[in-house]
Structure formats: structure tokens, C-alpha cells
Amino acid sequence: MLLALSLFLTPGAFFFNSALFMFSAFFYFFFQTVRVKGLTQTINDIKTDSLVLIAIGENNNFFANGVKSRFFPGGGATLISLCYIVTSLLFKY
């Protein structure tokens, strides 16, 4: 969906939209994981995922394991839509 919507954006707006989506998605999942696992375990999982990704080149995804509850239903689609709306309001076409 983000790729399809990006066809209507200028290159600068596309990169802004992508960055806004990546940061908002990271913080959404980070705070959701902290709520479920606690801050210490979340930080340890991020360190483990980063180390394994750099050393071995594969994602073990410890960060997302155990986070099964949906506090914000339809979170991905909502984040994409909100990021696109914010981008369209900030950039003139």
C-alpha cells in the first residue's frame, strides 16, 4: 500500500514518508514490547537481535517474540495512512 501511495509523491516526500513510517513503526512496536516484556528485557532483546544480525546476518526476532496482544488493532494500516496524511499535508504537489 505504501508503495502504491508513493506513486503520487515527489521524491522528497517519498523519503520523508518512508522515514516517518519507519520511525513511528519502531516506536509503536518498541513501546508495545516494553509494556509486555519490560524495559530491561526489551533492551536485551534488541541487543541480541542487533548482534546476531551483524555477526551472522540473520534476524532471530527476539524483540517481537512473546508480544501477541494487539493494543492498537490494525496498527500497520493505520500507521501507513497517518504517515501518508501527514506527508501530504507537509508537502505541496
Q: Give residue-wise pLDDT tens across range 1-48.
A: 666 777 778 888 888 888 888 888 888 778 877 877 788 887 887 777
Q: Is the pTM of this model over 0.85?
A: no
**Domain ranges within the chain, ordered by starting residue:** 11-90
26-34: which pairs have CB atoms within 8 A and are 24 or more residues apart?
28/72, 28/75, 28/79, 29/63, 29/64, 29/67, 32/67, 32/71, 32/72, 33/63, 33/64, 33/67
